Amino acid sequence: MAIVSSLSTKHLLGIKYITTEDIETIFQTANNFKEVLNRPVKKVPSLRDVTIANLFFENSTRTKMSFELAEKRLSADVINFSASSSSVKKGETLLDTVNNILSMKVDMIVMRHPAPGSAYYLSEHIDASIINAGDGTHEHPTQALLDAYSIQEKVGNIKGKKIVIVGDIKHSRVALSNIMCLNKLGAKVAVCGPPTLIPKNIETLGVKVFYQVKEALEWCDVANVLRIQLERQDIKYIPSLREYARYFGINKQLLESLSKKIVIMHPGPINRGVELSSDVADSDQSIILEQVENGVAVRMAILYLLAGNVSN
C-alpha cells in the first residue's frame, strides 16, 4: 500500500490541531486497514524500516496494546517504555529521556503522560513525529477519532446526529477530544453529569448541558458514557459512587423506558455497576468492543499517514 495522502500536520497532538479534512482522510485510510485486519494475513509492509517508541508514563491497557498491535500490523519496529521500570525514577527529565531514545534512531513517538500539554511541549523540542496517547486531563485524540469512526460505522453520517457524553466531564481528556472531533464533523453534542463534574462555561465549546440523565438519553442518538476518574480528583466531587450510580448510572430499566433505541459507547475501562450496569455494557445496544476493534484500524491509519514525515 503506497502512502496516498498525508495529514496537514506532522504530529497528532490533539483534535484541536487537526482539520476536518484530516479526520476524513484518517477515516478513509482506516476503512482500508479495517479490510486488511479482516484478511487471514493481517500484516502489511507499509512501515517496514520505521522504528516507533511507545512511551507510557501512565497506566493503559487498550491504548498501549492497540498502538503496539497497529505498529506490528504495519511491520514497524517497536520498542516499549514504561515509566515504572525506567530511569525516570532516578530523576531524568522527560526531554532527556526522549532525546536518549531518539538517539537510538527512533522515528516516531507515541506518548501517554499525566501532564496536560506534555505532547505539545515535546513537539516544540524534538524533530520526530509525536502522537499524543493521552496527556492528563487535556486530550486523547486517538480515542476521539476511534469513537467518531465507530459512531459513523453504526449510525452513518455524523452530521446532525445527537451525541451526549455522560459522566465525569471535568477530568476527562476523552470528553474534550470527543467534543472537538464531533463538532468538526457537524454533530450536535451535549454533556450530562452532576454540576460538580461539568466545567464552568462548557457551553462555549458549543455543547448543550443536561443535569438529568433520562432527559439527556431521550435527546440523543448515541450516549458515550465515561467513568468517574477518582485518580484525578483531589477533592470529593460526588458524595459516593453508590449515589452517582443511582442518579447517573445507566441500566437496562432506564434504557427500556426511553421512546427510542439509542447506541451506548464507553472508552473503557468500565466500572461495572457505577456508570453502566453489566446488562447494558453487554447488550446489543452497546458498541464498546467495536470501539476497541476499530481502534487498531484507526491507529494504523494515523501511524501510516504521519509516517510520510519520516526520512529514511
Instruction: Count Cβ atoms within 10 A of the Cβ of residue 86 and give its class: 0-12 exposed, 13-18 middle, 19 or more buried.
Output: middle
Q: Is 269 in the site for ligand CP (CB under 6 A)?
A: yes
Closest separation between CB of residue 63 and ligand CP, Å?
A: 3
- The interface with ligand CP within residues 136-155 (CB under 6 A) comprises 143
| DSSP code per residue over 192-237 | ES-GGGS-TTGGGGT-EEES-HHHHHHH-SEEEE----GGG-SS-S
Closest separation between CB of residue 182 and ligand CP, Å?
A: 17
Please say which residue, 8 or 61, places its beta carbon nearer to ligand CP. 61
Q: Which of 309, 311, 302, 310 is nearest to 74 (CA)?
A: 302
Question: Which residue stretch of 92-100, 212-220, 254-262, 265-273 sits at the interface with ligand CP (rule: CB under 6 A)?
Answer: 265-273
Please say which residue, 137 or 143, places its beta carbon nearer to ligand CP. 143
Half-sphere exposure of 62 (CA within 13 A, CB side): 20
Respond yes or no on whether the N-terminal peptide bond of residue 269 is cis (omega within 30° of 0).
Answer: yes
Question: Are 152 and 27 within 8 A, CB to CB?
Answer: yes
Q: Which of 5, 8, 38, 61 binds ligand CP (CB under 6 A)?
A: 61
291 phi and psi angles, rounded to 5 deg: -60, -45
Q: Which of 152, 268, 283, 309 binds ligand CP (CB under 6 A)?
A: 268
Q: Which of 62, 154, 162, 208 binds ligand CP (CB under 6 A)?
A: 62
Please say which residue, 146 or 238, places its beta carbon nearer to ligand CP. 146
- Cell numbers for 190, please give them: 451535549
Q: Is 10 in the site for ligand CP (CB under 6 A)?
A: no
Taken as a whole, the chain contains a residue count of 312
Q: Which of 6, 9, 32, 60 binds ligand CP (CB under 6 A)?
A: 60
Q: Which of 29, 63, 177, 286 binds ligand CP (CB under 6 A)?
A: 63
Residues that bind ligand CP (CB under 6 A): 60-63, 134, 143, 267-269
